[in-house]
Amino acid sequence: MTSTAATSPKNFFSDAGKKTSLLRLFRNHFLTGLCIAISLLTLVPLFSIIVLVIKNGLPLLSTNLFTQLPPAPGLDGGGFGNAIVGTLVMVGISLGFSVPLGILAAVFVNEYASVSWLASVVRFVAKLLTGIPSIICGVFAFAAVVMTTHKFSALAGGLALAILILPTILLTAEQALLGVPYAFREASFGVGATPFQTIWCIVLPEAMPAIMTGVMLAVARAAGETAPVLFTALFSQNWIKGIMEPTASLSVLIYNFASLPYAYHIKLAWSASLILVVLVTLSNILAQVIFAPKHH
Amino acid sequence: MACFLASVLTIVLLAFIIGEILVKAWPAMIKFGLGFITGIQWSPNRGVFGVLPVLIGTVASSFLALLLALPLGLAIAIFLSEDFFPAPVRQVIRFVVETLAAIPSVVYGLWGIFVVIPLVQQYGAVLAAKFGFIPFLAGPAYGNSLLTASLVLALMVLPTITAISRSSLVAVPYTLREGSYALGATRWETILSVIIPTAAPGIVASGILGFGRAMGETMAVAMLIGNSQRLSWSLLSPSNTLSALLANQFAEADGIQVSALMYAAALLVVLTLGVNIAGEAVLRHTQKATAGLR
């Protein structure tokens, strides 16, 4: 299909002479303008989102937001310190599961068994996992943790996020390992290093900046997600006491407060959005700026 | 050895996820069978569970989003792959589109509540008054509607569609473009009859993968679609999607309702995995085809 489309002349070539060149020129410029206009149009919603998040989020921004608990319905004042801590704790738990698992699996796929069927199955599964809706991670954690412990908990939320970010970490770590020149390994083997020593002392340190890029991207992804923690960690009005307790998070706070009929809670939701967007953007920038370009 | 275990664990994890959901869904599967899929009632307090309206809402909202996002995404992809503007300007637009992907779903939801819902309410009422005889635009017009959810979904899948379309446009060999110019074609004649047809499989794949993403999107949809299980033709009435149903009901569900929700989750997994595998297959085929052209 592709080759015929590319080689067979289309109608307009044959009747090109009949059309005035002016008309063709006009059509050309018209489509260019249209294409540029559409591309610029996408700026509008993005600016709308950013402007509104800043405009509605800034007025409440103070240290109280970080140190106080959410107010009772109908009351003013307070902040969402517990939600910030909860988000950080759950992202931490998810990294604790996914970073070792993802990096080890990537090392296996790329260093030990790059052409075996098992490696291609791992790659395929990781691809499939990236396509699984985030809420399914929550459903799984609900089935596996909440239904067995009979409790909503930060652990369940962290586990759901871990599944969400595992493919990101695995696939970026694999790309990072691929980026290490093969000569490095040959040189290492040449001076008598074992495969383990080669991987541990030569390949992994060399790939580390690029692996960290993947980890930071995963942090950005996990911090912003709501669906996996919505009915696994649930929400809490209080400070986190342990990882087996229901835990507040910024994203669930936004979801819960957005539909409340209290003006102050809605303002808090906007402020939480501002902090969440800043957190996610910072992790993304960190991923791209600080770690990546050192070696390439 | 640890590496071997880690990779086996990754594979087992996917099987475990699917297995765990199926096990928990089993009671509902036995009890409702395929009637679950064709049933139009969802009332937990009467123990009746049917997801047909929700299934239709899932497919309809994602399809509508795709209808909006595919032309936009393709236009941006062309903008990014042509040299209308110097590279730095294109880089800015590319950065903007990528930023759209980084904004959390729940923030889209919050923005949708305060920006898109009022807009849809206002103009939806006008549309319903003028074109209400068309079933798709029948009133009364609600702000929390299928249309609202689709508009925001379109924005959310735009980065996926743009990125994949762009890379398939860029992969078209430059010699084809030169050949077309040499025959006297203008830039847009070249784009429309040489470059887009050559990149078509990749563009189709971007649409399929965008569709898959839209079906799995949860929070923004749950906040905007109105969560109604009533069947309606109108884009202006509330609807529901599988993921929004899960988001809204899981925390308070117990007994057979949990099982019914697991059944719905299993359907969502089947739908999204099917769509994603199809998209990946088309994409892989494309990469092979364009590689052969070089």
What long-range pairs does A46-54 form, CB within 8 A, spacing at least 24? A46/B96, A46/B99, A46/B100, A48/B111, A48/B115, A49/B103, A49/B107, A49/B108, A49/B111, A50/A277, A52/A270, A52/B111, A52/B114, A52/B115, A53/A270, A53/A273, A53/A274, A53/A277, A53/B107, A53/B111, A54/A274
Q: Are residues A104 and A19 in the same domain?
A: no
User: Which residue shows structure tokens 């960190």?
Assistant: A286
Q: What is the mean predicted confidence (pLDDT) over B250-254?
A: 87
How far apart (Å, rounded) are the C-alpha atoms in residues A149 and A2?
55
Count up the domains in chain B and report the number. Answer: 1
CA dist A84 → A155, A157, A279, B78 (Å): 16, 14, 10, 41
Q: Which of A185-189, B119-123, B131-135 has the lowest mean pLDDT?
A: B131-135
User: Is-cis flag, bond preceding B140, omega within 30?
Assistant: yes
pLDDT in the model for residue A291: 61
Angstrom distances, CA of residue B56 to CA of A12, A202, B34, B61, B207: 42, 54, 16, 8, 19
pLDDT in tens, B184-193: 899 999 999 9
pLDDT score for B286: 77
Count how many domains chain A has. Answer: 2
Say how far apart CA B252 and CA B69 lie, in whole Å.
Answer: 35
DSSP string of B176-230? HHHHHHHTT--HHHHIIIIIHHHHHHHHHHHHHHHHHHHHH--HHHHHHS-----
At B155, list the tokens: 């924005």
Interchain contact, B110 vs A254, CB within 8 Å: yes
Asked if residue B149 belongs to a domain, the reply is yes
pLDDT at B293: 63
Q: Which residues of A touch B93 (CB under 8 A)?
A: 39-40, 42-43
Is some CB atom of chain A closer than 8 A to the CB atom of B26?
no
In the predicted model, residues of chain A with pLDDT beneath 50 are 1-9, 12, 295-296
Answer yes or no: do A137 and A50 share one domain.
no
Residue A35 lies in a domain: yes
Inspect the interface and report whether the beta carbons of B186 and A27 lie closer than 8 Å. yes
* Phi-psi map region of B47: left, alpha, beta (phi>0 left; psi -120 to 50 alpha): left
Residues in A touching B84 (Cβ below 8 Å): 32, 35-36
Segment (H or E) for A225: none
Residues A216, A98, single domain; the answer is yes
B7/A108 Cβ within 8 A: yes
**For an interface test with B, which of A115, A151, A171, A226 has the most B Cβ atoms less than 10 Å from its Cβ?**
A226
Instruction: Check CB contact under 8 Å for A255 and B21.
Output: no
Residues A277 and A226 in one domain: yes
Average pLDDT, chain A: 88
B187 touches chain A (CB under 8 A): yes
B84 assigned to some structural domain: yes
Contacts (Cβ under 8 Å, ≥6 apart) of A148: none
β-pairing, B42-43 vs B48-49, is antiparallel
What is the span of the domain harbouring residue A47? 15-57
- The answer to whether residue A92 is domain-embedded is yes
**Residue reference for tokens 């340190």:** A205
Percent of chain B's residues with pLDDT above 70: 98
Gap between the Cα atoms of A144 and A133, Å rounded: 17
Confirm whether A238 is domain-assigned. yes
Residue of B nearest to A220 (CA): B102
Which of A57, A82, A107 finishes a domain? A57
Average pLDDT, stretch B66-81? 95
Tell me, yes or no, whether A22 and A135 share the same domain: no
Q: What are the tokens at A183? A: 């000569």
State which H helix or E strand residue A16 sits in: none
Q: Look at B76 and A42 and tell me if their CB atoms are within 8 Å.
A: yes
User: Which residue from A13, A113, A122 is facing B183, i.e. has the nearest CB?
Assistant: A13
Kindly identify which residue of chain B lies nearest to residue A249, measuring between CA atoms. B106
Interchain proximity B251–A230, CB inside 8 Å = yes
Q: Are residues A45 and A68 in the same domain?
A: no
Under an 8 A CB cutoff, do A227 and B219 touch?
Answer: yes
Flag whether B30 is in a domain: no
Q: Is A208 within a domain?
A: yes
Do the domain assignments include residue B129? Answer: yes
Contact B11 A125 (CB under 8 A): yes
Residue whose structure tokens are 């899960």: B246
A133, A26: one domain: no
From the number of C-beta atoms within 10 Å of its C-beta (0-12, 13-18, 19+), residue A1 rates as: exposed
Angstrom distance (rounded) from CA A294 to CA A207:
11
Residue A5: its pLDDT value, please?
44
Give whole-number Cα distances, B243 to A103, B52, B62, B223, B269, in Å.
30, 14, 12, 11, 10
Nearest residue in B to A272, CA atom: B107
Q: Do residues B167 and B74 touch, judged by C-beta distance below 8 A?
A: no
Which residues of chain A are within 8 Å of residue B8 when distances are taken between CB atoms? 118
Residue B137, in any domain of the structure: yes
Q: Is residue B146 part of a domain?
A: yes
Q: Is any Cβ of chain A less than 8 angstroms from the Cβ of B175?
A: no
Helices (H) and strands (E) in chain A, counts: 16, 0
Amino acid at A96: G
Contacts A111 to B, Cβ<8 Å: 3
Q: Are A72 and A218 members of one domain?
A: yes
Residue A235 resides in a domain: yes
| CA–CA separation, B77 and B72 (whole Å) | 9
Using one digit for the tens of pLDDT, what is the confidence trace for B7-35? Answer: 888 889 999 999 999 999 999 999 999 99
* CATH number of the domain that residue A85 is part of: 1.10.3720.10
Asked whether residue A27 falls in the same domain as residue A163, the answer is no
Same domain membership, residue A194 and residue A243? yes
Size of interface A-B (CB pairs under 8 A): 265
Same-domain status, A34 and A143: no
CA distance A171 to A177: 10
pLDDT of residue A6: 44
Integer Cα distance of B31 and B50 in angstroms: 12
Please tell me the distance in Å from B34's CA to the nearest CA on chain A.
21
**Residue A140 amino acid letter:** F
Q: Would you say residue B149 has pLDDT above 70?
A: yes
Check CB contact of B119 with chain A, cutoff 8 Å. no
Contact A230 B250 (CB under 8 A): yes
Does B238 map to a domain? Answer: yes
Q: How far apart are the first and last CA of chain A?
A: 38
B257 domain residue, yes or no: yes
In a domain, A1, yes or no: no
Residue B256 sits in which domain range?
A: 56-168+210-265
Q: Which of A6, A39, A57 is the last residue of a domain?
A: A57
Residue B271 has pLDDT above 90, yes or no: yes
- Select from A33, A57, A81 the last residue of a domain: A57
- Contact between A104 and B3 using a beta-carbon 8 Å cutoff: yes
A120 and A20 in a common domain: no
**Does residue A2 form part of some domain?**
no
State how far the Cα of B65 lies from the Cα of B12, in Å rounded to an integer.
34
